[in-house]
Amino acid sequence: MDYPLLIEERVSNKTFQEKAIPGDIIETIKAYHDNSCLRLIPDIKTELIITGSDVKEALEKAAGYNAPLVGCPSYMVLTSEDKQGAELNAGYIMEDLMLKARDLGYGSCWLTFTDSSKIKEALALKTDKKVVAVAAFGLAERARKWLHLNIITMSNIEISAKHHYFAPKKSIDELISIEKYGNKEGLDEKIGFYEDILWESFIAASKSPSYLNLQPYSFLLKGSTVYLLSEKEALTPDIDRDLNLGIAMLHFAAVAKQYIHNIEWKLTKDALDLPAGVTPVASCQI
Ligand SMILES: Cc1cc2nc3c(=O)[nH]c(=O)nc-3n(C[C@H](O)[C@H](O)[C@H](O)COP(=O)(O)O)c2cc1C
């Protein structure tokens, strides 16, 4: 897959054609999940379920920003063993599956949820695993941006979120600190030293989808170590925070892989000199 291009072009689709997804596309995505998708924590077993549109009403009562997606013919639901890092891993895997779907010509949209058991109930799922990620997918219909506005007015989301919702993605300058949290001095030179590898990988991370587009995270580049930091943010539920972080790591790693080699994110609790509310999540060597 051409990750830089797929990431550059991706958007969350909110309107879909009602056409059912052909069986061979469903099989291709399932096989990709089972055999070759990118994984953050390979030891955690996951399962991908692809539903038809018959579950739409029940599922969208248990997931999503209170605004139903138009026409959506299918949903991808990822279940996982309940192990440490399961949601970070789910963000990583599901975003890769969504990019795979895009590569096959299909659009998608993440759906928020807070209660795994409600999703299981909606889908009548019998499994020991917990639900860790939900996304709508289908053939995207071209749609005006005003649909995004509906999501705000139809939801309970505070009006203060509106500014963020329409805000552009975080810039590289906002996203990255050099050597010490908050320091931007020498940013261009440091990133430039690694040529396209770091620029492209950070640009891909900056284009990550996130809950309400808030992107509550940043990166710290210390020597040749890249740290992903979580930034406390009041509106983002815990599951979405972890999914956001997993997605950002996937975007970074998928593009870095195209330029250099496989980079490996490792979960970390390294003591870094960080302000209150900012915590290290993972690090990798470049
Ligand atoms: C964890 C997560 C949960 C999300 N939940 C929803 C949702 O329930 N409904 C929805 O319409 N969009 C949802 N989104 C999509 C975001 O609103 C979208 O990614 C963000 O506004 C940026 O837009 P873009 O993806 O087109 O770049 C979610 C995204 C993430 C990462």
Torsion 221-96-204-170 (CA) sign: negative
Cα pseudo-dihedral 11, 149, 56, 64, rounded to 10: 80
Q: What number is the average pLDDT over the span 183-198?
A: 85
Provide the angle, in degrees to the nearest 10, between the axes of the packed helices 238-259 and 196-206: 150
Q: How far is the CA of 15 from the centre of ligand 1 (A)?
A: 13
Backbone angles phi, psi at 8, to 5 degrees: -60, -40
For tokens 């979120």, name the residue: 161
Domains delineated in the chain: 3-149 (3.40.109.10), 169-285 (3.40.109.30)
pLDDT in tens, 251-268: 999 999 988 778 999 999
pLDDT in tens, 26-78: 999 999 999 999 999 999 999 999 999 999 999 999 999 877 788 999 999 99
Strands 217-222 and 176-178: parallel
* Confidence label for 247 from pLDDT (cuts 50, 70 and 90): very high
pTM of the entire predicted model: 0.94
| pLDDT score, position 152 | 45
* Ligand 1 mutation pick, 110, 145, 146, 169, max ligand atoms within 8 A of CB: 110
User: What atom in ligand 1 is closest to the CA of residue 210?
Assistant: 31
| pLDDT score, position 159 | 44
User: What atom in ligand 1 is closest to the CA of residue 165?
Assistant: 21
Strands 225-231 and 217-222: antiparallel
For tokens 């596309």, name the residue: 25
Residue pair 59/124 in contact (Cβ under 8 Å)? The answer is no
Per-residue pLDDT at 165 exceeds 50: no
Cα pseudo-dihedral 116, 118, 121, 123, rounded to 10: -70
